[in-house]
C-alpha cells in the first residue's frame, strides 16, 4: 500500500494533509513527517522484525503512552493498526550526535532518562539482549541466510555471559529501552525525548548502558566515567560486566545484520549492506574490538 493511501485511511489525518516527506535515518522502519494545516505528525510504517522477536506492537504502544505520561516520549495520535503503523506527534528538535556527549548537561539528561526508564513497569514485555540475538538469528535462518564462519563460537560465549548475568537480581530483569542510541534521542533545547520503543522490555541495564559507548568508540576512561555517572560511583566489577555486555552488543549487531540482509532485500528505501555490516562486526569481534 502506498504511503498516501495509508495517510488517507487515518481518520486523525485525512482531509487535513498539506504534504509528507520521508524522514530517513532509520534502518528498520519507514518514517514520514506528515504536515497538516495545524500540526506535524510522524507516521511510522513498521518492519516485520517484531514477528520474529515475539514482541507485540500493541504492548509497544502501551509503553509509548506510559513514557509520554512520564513526559519524555511523543504522544501517540493513531494506533488503530499497530502491527502496520503508528502515528505520533512530531517533536521539534534534533537527534543527538557524538559531539553532544562533550556536554555534561546532556550526558546527565541521558542518564536521568535511562534511570526513569529502568524503573518503568514492563507492560508484559520481555526482551533481553539474548532474546534479540536468538530472535534475529531464527529470522535469518528462516530466510536461509548463510551464517558466517565462527558465529557458533561467539554464541558459546554469549551463553556463558547470559548464565553469569542471571545471578544479578538488581540490574538484570529491569525494564529497558534496548535501542537507546543517540539517533533515538531528540533534543529540544531543554528536554530530551526518547523515540522508537519497539525493542523495549524486561532486560539487562548493563546492556542498555553499553549502547552509546560502543557505538561512539568511548575510551576506557570515558567508559569508567559513564558508569560512574549512572551508578554514582565506580567499581571494577561493574566495569568487567560492562565489557562482557559490549561483547553481547556486538554479537547482537551481527545477528541484526544477518536478519535484515534478507528482510530488506526488496526494500527500495534502504541501500545499506546489512550482510557486509554483519561481517564487519564479526571481524572486529575476532580482533577483540567491541566497538563499532
Calculate what percentage of the chain has a pLDDT beyond 90.
Answer: 77
pLDDT attached to residue 49: 84
Domain's final residue, options 59, 89, 119: 89
Q: How many CA atoms lie within 13 A of 176 on its CB side?
A: 24
User: Helix 129-142 and helix 151-165: axis angle, to 10°?
Assistant: 150
In a domain, 159, yes or no: yes
In a domain, 160, yes or no: yes
Same domain, 179 and 274: yes
- Determine which helix (DSSP H) or strand (DSSP E) holds 41, and give its type and residue range: strand 40-45
CA 100 to chain CA centroid, nearest Å = 19
CATH number at residue 211: 3.90.1200.10
Domains held by the chain: number: 2
Same domain, 50 and 28: yes
Same domain, 74 and 219: no
Same domain, 227 and 258: yes
Same domain, 159 and 231: yes
pLDDT attached to residue 25: 61
Q: What would the pLDDT profile of 10-31 be if each residue is shown by its tens digit?
A: 888 766 788 889 887 666 788 9
Q: What would the pLDDT profile of 220-272 be if each residue is shown by its tens digit?
A: 999 999 999 999 999 999 999 999 999 999 999 999 999 999 876 665 556 78
CATH number at residue 47: 3.30.200.20
CA dihedral 281, 45, 41, 7 (to 10 degrees): 160
Q: What is the DSSP string of 72-133?
A: SSPPEEE-SSTTTEEEEEPP-SEE--GGGGG-HHHHHHHHHHHHHHTTS--TT-B--HHHHH
User: Helix 205-215 and helix 104-117: axis angle, to 10°?
Assistant: 150
Same domain, 244 and 117: yes
Amino acid at each position: 500500500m502506498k504511503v498516501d493511501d495509508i495517510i488517507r485511511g487515518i481518520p486523525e489525518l485525512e482531509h487535513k494533509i498539506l504534504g509528507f516527506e520521508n524522514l530517513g535515518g532509520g534502518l528498520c522502519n519507514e518514517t514520514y513527517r506528515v504536515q497538516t494545516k495545524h500540526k506535524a505528525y510522524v507516521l511510522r510504517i513498521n518492519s516485520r522484525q517484531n514477528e520474529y522477536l515475539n514482541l507485540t506492537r500493541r504492548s509497544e504502544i502501551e509503553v509509548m503512552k506510559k513514557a509520554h505520561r512520564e513526559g519524555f516520549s511523543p504522544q501517540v495520535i493513531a494506533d488503530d493498526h499497530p502491527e502496520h503503523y503508528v502515528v505520533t506527534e512530531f517533536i521539534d528538535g534534533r537527534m543527538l550526535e557524538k559531539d553532544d556527549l562533550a556536554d555534561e548537561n546532556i550526558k546527565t539528561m541521558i542518564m536521568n532518562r535511562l534511570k526513569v526508564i529502568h524503573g518503568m513497569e514492563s507492560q508484559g514485555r520481555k526482551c533481553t539482549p539474548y532474546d534479540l540475538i536468538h530472535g534475529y538469528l531464527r529470522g535469518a535462518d528462516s530466510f536461509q541466510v548463510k551464517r558466517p564462519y565462527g558465529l557458533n563460537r561467539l554464541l558459546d560465549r554469549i551463553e556463558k555471559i547470559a548464565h553469569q548475568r542471571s545471578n544479578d537480581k538488581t540490574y538484570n530483569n529491569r525494564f529497558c529501552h534496548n535501542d537507546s542510541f543517540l539517533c533515538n534521542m531528540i533534543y529540544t533545547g531543554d528536554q530530551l525525548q526518547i523515540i522508537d520503543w519497539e525493542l523495549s522490555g524486561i532486560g539487562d541495564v548493563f546492556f542498555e548502558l553499553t549502547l552509546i559507548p560502543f557505538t561512539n568508540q568511548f575510551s576506557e576512561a570515558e567508559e569508567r566515567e559513564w558508569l560512574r555517572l549512572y551508578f554514582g560511583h565506580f567499581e571494577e566489577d561493574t566495569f568487567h560486566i560492562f565489557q562482557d555486555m559490549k561483547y553481547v552488543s556486538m554479537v547482537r549487531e551481527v545477528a541484526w545484520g544477518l536478519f535484515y540482509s534478507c528482510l530488506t532485500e526488496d526494500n527500495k528505501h534502504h541501500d545499506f549492506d546489512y550482510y557486509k555490516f554483519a561481517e564487519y562486526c564479526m571481524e572486529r569481534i575476532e580482533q577483540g574490538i567491541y566497538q563499532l
